[in-house]
Amino acid sequence: MAKEPESKVLSIGNREVTVTNPDKLYFLQAKISKLDLVRYYLSVAPGAIAAIRDRPVVLKRFVNGAEAEAFYQKRAPENRPSWLRTVTLSFPSGRTAKEIVVDDAAGLAWIVNLGCIELHPHPVRSANLEHPDEMRIDLDPIPGVEWADVRRVALEVQAFLEEVGLRGWPKTSGSRGIHVNVRIEPRWTFTEVRRAAVALSRAIERRAPSLATSKWWKEERHGVFLDYNQNAKDRTTCSAYSVRPLPDARVSAPLHWREVPDCNPADFTLFTMPERFAKIGDPHADMDAAAGSLEKLLALADKDEAEGLGDAPWPPHFRKAKGEPSRVMPSRAKPTANEPAKKAAAKKPRVKMPLITIANSPDKKLALAGLERWKEKYSEVSKLLAIDDVLIDSMRGRSSTWTRIRINLRHVPEEARPPQETPDPDDDPTREFRERWRKKKRAG
């Protein structure tokens, strides 16, 4: 008979948590086991729990380790400890789900044992699920942007927040960006918080136009994108102290503002964070005492709207919002028939970008390999591409992520542009769903 895999029982407070397959490697290069990951989170538990306490958590599970595909699990597992709380959330789709709420170190260890390498809390507390108490500012650099530029945009955000009476709490994303969380009074809806985030993103773009952008469509972006849609209902970002699925096991590290100008995200890993936490504690420990008002940001949103700058695009799975512009990529936008001449003349012309899709795959490595094959095939064209002409999109479906790679041929003479070919690989896990939806729409 095959030997049953061993388990490790940890006594955490007055509870016991079983870690199954404790020796299973979750980071092959860094040789980090599941038990190592659990012990890391326990070593920084006060900080990690403060970032997720009393909040519903989406379980992003890497059951085969950081190098393998992850899946999202909104619904709490049926087989869970009786002491672990849940709350019922409603989503834009109209569906509901019971989600886990973590209040202590035992609950933290339990969800990490499920394969949750990183933690994804919602920006609400369990007693008030419709009014966020946190606005999230996600600084997401496009490929090729220098880390120094990300830090400069973060400092612009800090200065602007102070002007509108708010305090930001910075942290490295654990990848290429910076997150700035803002504790707010839970008086506004998700739609209002997102509206405030749109106004902030546009304000930063005006202050640093060469560095920052609020443009939703990747083909229009440059520099550092301020992702206002992270504040839409049902969206989550990794929380403070989360380990990210990168080879060196980087951590989303809470910072003091004085650290931002010189910080290096590579300095914060699963190996270095416990010592840092023991030495300086949690830089975000006082966040809950700094709840502020969105009134000035919402007043700025009103001013933008009065000047003709309305809503910004929402994520694709949300219902069309009042005043929202077209959700069609500028490169695919068609002229509006019978548009009044005065209105048409007042509009800024949109440049249609020549985009082709190179690869679709749930496995990012396979998608990137397809990109390299395309570059080899069209080597002369590849020499003409700018850094931001290669668009690598991390697409999120209902329960999984996948990678789409596109090429913007704007710098390639029209006569030399390669045609749209069948992507290689061409494994889009949402294609079947979208085809069913199109058929249903045509039939209805």
Give me the DSSP letters along 175-234.
SS-EEEEEEB-TTS-HHHHHHHHHHHHHHHHHHSTTTEE--SSGGG--SEEE-GGGGSTT
How far apart are alpha carbons 138 and 140 in whole angstroms?
A: 6
Place of tokens 């972006």: 221
Instruction: State pLDDT tens for residues 354-397.
Output: 888 989 988 888 888 999 999 988 988 888 887 778 888 777 65
List of residues 6+ apart from 3 with CB closer than 8 A: none
Task: Report yes or no: 219 and 206 within 8 Å, Cβ to Cβ.
Answer: no
Residue 170: band (very low, low, confident or very high) from pLDDT cuts 50, 70, 90: very high
CA 41 to chain centre: 21
- Amino acid identity of residue 349, one-letter, is P
Residue 281 in this model has a pLDDT that exceeds 60: yes
Residue 315: band (very low, low, confident or very high) from pLDDT cuts 50, 70, 90: confident
Q: Provide the β-strand partners of residue 391.
A: 406
How far apart are alpha carbons 391 and 220 in whole angstroms?
A: 11
Mean pLDDT of 392-410: 77
Instruction: State pLDDT tens for residues 83-106.
Output: 999 999 988 777 899 999 999 999
How far apart are alpha carbons 359 and 215 in whole angstroms?
A: 23
pLDDT of residue 119: 97
pLDDT of residue 431: 65
How far apart are alpha carbons 348 and 257 in whole angstroms?
A: 38
Omega cis (within 30) before 330: no
State pTM to two decimals: 0.78
List of residues 6+ apart from 433 with CB closer than 8 A: 397
- How large a percentage of the chain has pLDDT more than 70? 87
Domain spans of the chain?
355-443
pLDDT of residue 338: 46
Residue 427: band (very low, low, confident or very high) from pLDDT cuts 50, 70, 90: confident
Mean pLDDT of 431-443: 62
pLDDT of residue 341: 42
Backbone dihedral angles phi then psi of residue 349, each to the nearest 5 degrees: -65, 140
Residue 438 in this model has a pLDDT that exceeds 80: no
Residue 436: band (very low, low, confident or very high) from pLDDT cuts 50, 70, 90: low
Mean pLDDT of 286-298: 97
Residue 16 to residues 42, 106, 213: CA-CA distances in angstroms?
13, 7, 48
Task: Report yes or no: 67 and 7 within 8 Å, Cβ to Cβ.
Answer: no
Residue 439: band (very low, low, confident or very high) from pLDDT cuts 50, 70, 90: low
- 385-419 in b/e burial notation, b at 16+ Cβ within 10 A? beebbbbbeeeeeeeebbbbbbbbbbebeeeebee
